[in-house]
Amino acid sequence: MKAITVFPRSLTHLGTSNFNEKELNFRVIKINIVAWILIILGTGFGMTYWYYSRYPGILVATLLGSVLFGGVLYLNKKRKYQAAGVTLQSTINLSTLYFGSILSAAVDPIWLALFLLISCLSFVKVGRAQIWCLGVSAATLLFLEINRALHIFPPMPFSPEMLNLIYYCTAFTVLTLTSISLVTLVHYNAKLFHTINLRNQQLTALNKELHASNTRLEHQVKERTANLEKAVTAKNIYVRELTHELRTPLNAIYSIAQLKLLSNRDKAQADKKVDEDLFIACRNLQTLINNTQDKCKLDTGNVDEVKKESVLLYSWITNIVNIYQYFANEKRVKIELEVQDSFPTAIVEDSIKLTKIVNNILVNAIKFTRNHTSIFLRIYRDDTHWYIAVRDQGNGISPDRIATLFKEFTRTTINFAEGSGLGLNITHHLVRILGGTIQVRSEIDEGTEFVVSLPLVPFTGEIKSATIELRENNLISFEGKKILVVEDDIMTQRYLSLLLSKRGFSIMHADNGQEALLKAHNHPDAIILDMSLPGKSGKDVLMELKSNPALRHIPVIAASADTDETNIEEIMLEGASAYMIKPIDFHILIDVLVKNLLTGTLVRN
């Protein structure tokens, strides 16, 4: 019994495959079924017609049709599906043309038209082949109608009983094939609808699961983002507070280092070397603190706004060179400065960011240049931009290294101090913030040159001559001037006072804000005011000084370890003449005092 059911199934599934689309397998099965039915019905009816008519053409056509329908099954088995469909339709057309001509007296054209239309739509894939088959079918029906009217091929003479038999057999064949096509189509559509319904249910379940997963994921992302933001905030607060606390003792140490450098003229060479090493160590520590703070700002996107101001170029760049010459001396390296003759005396730029850029590039050049060589620092311009070029005489940088040069945490060393690996990364960001570019040119064994390009904006306002003429601020004397140092840290107060007294200042001290307000009535020529005072804050003291008509004219130089430029701007808006970030660089402080007092005279110490 099982063999009886398996055999027909294997015949109808000739050419089907699990790799085929369901629609293709459905059409193959349908063509196989129709081909088998046409073989059976065609052979049966054809032999019957031949038996009664004894016309040999019917026998030949019947056998040829069965062979061709068998060929359809063979083509499907070989998986030539398009050829099988066209062969089936062509054979049906030929059979219809032949039997419709000789049996025109008994065959209704309506049945033939319905038969050909269903076969075209059912057995041939939509496309050019189907259009071609429909055209051939239409031509076949047209010829049969013409032949019916003109008797080009006269119908065979059958008895009335035989004509009735032929009529009903033809109707049965057409209805059978039509029913098979419709039933299989309905069955296929039902399966397709069931499959679509299952897929929709699965898709709905997957969508619900995906929505739930997304909800969980969003919750986890929000939770982890919140935790990350808390961690970053806590880290930034810790870094800010730590660096702020580090700046206070560093201010005293840095002041001692500067004081020792200024007083080492008569010392032995070994003692001078100790003083220079102390100064270099302080500057390295200051650079590490500054880079750490800048990196935190870049990571959080809280970058200080660009604040343009007039920059006296020669004085600014000379101070930087003088400071970093101490670093270069360690390797017996000379920093050669060249400023283009046609360069403007003053430009408009963010001096704080500009100084950080040059500092980091110079430190990098000193690290990599060879001993007993020179570093060439050139400043020049064209019509729209100005350039800072720093070239060393080191071993050069390979092209693959240049590609990653500005990535963070590329660590290098200088003497006994190791860098944070942030300098060039921060420099790259700062240059972009200022609207410029930075390029690296390097040749192996020849050295490396960094070139910063920035938009050129010459300063067109009034320039004070006392500052322009400044070349060596260690020749400046403030003899007869009084200065009030308001500082609660005793070491900072002591060594800052020593530095200022060496320039001729008469020093007054105040440990808190209230004492500062009282001593301000002695009318000092300038006030250095710490912003982090106990009790009354430095900002409150500044506001009271500027609100007093008798004291508001006194230049107040704010000093603080706070590097937040928003806070700096607030202090400047309250009336401060300058803002010094601790540890205070004495060269920069002298420049600020010259600019504000305007009475500095050049003398030799």
Along the chain (605 residues), what's the average pLDDT of each consecutive run of 10 residues? 57 74 75 81 79 79 84 85 80 75 67 66 65 75 75 73 74 73 69 80 87 88 83 72 71 76 70 73 74 70 74 86 81 91 90 87 89 93 93 87 70 43 78 91 89 92 50 67 90 85 90 91 92 88 92 91 80 89 82 73 34
pLDDT number for residue 466: 40
Q: Taking the model in full, what pTM does it have? A: 0.50
Q: What CA–CA distances, in Å, run from 15 to 12, 185, 232, 595?
A: 9, 19, 66, 98
pLDDT number for residue 422: 64
22-53 and 2-12 helices cross at what angle (nearest 10)?
100
Residue 504 DSSP label: T
Antiparallel, parallel or unpaired: β 417-418 and 437-443 = unpaired
pLDDT number for residue 125: 63
pLDDT number for residue 227: 84
Which tokens in the block code for residue 527?
């006030």
pLDDT number for residue 334: 93
pLDDT number for residue 408: 60
The per-residue DSSP string of 206-242 comes to HHHHHHHHHHHHHHHHHHHHHHHHHHHHHHHHHHHHH
Q: Which amino acid is residue 67, in one-letter code?
A: V
CA distance 307 to 84: 82
How many CA atoms are closer than 13 Å to the CA of 588, on its beta-carbon side?
20
Q: What is the dihedral of CA 247, 248, 252, 254, to 10 degrees?
A: 10
Q: How many CB atoms lie within 10 A of CB 7?
A: 10
pLDDT number for residue 490: 84
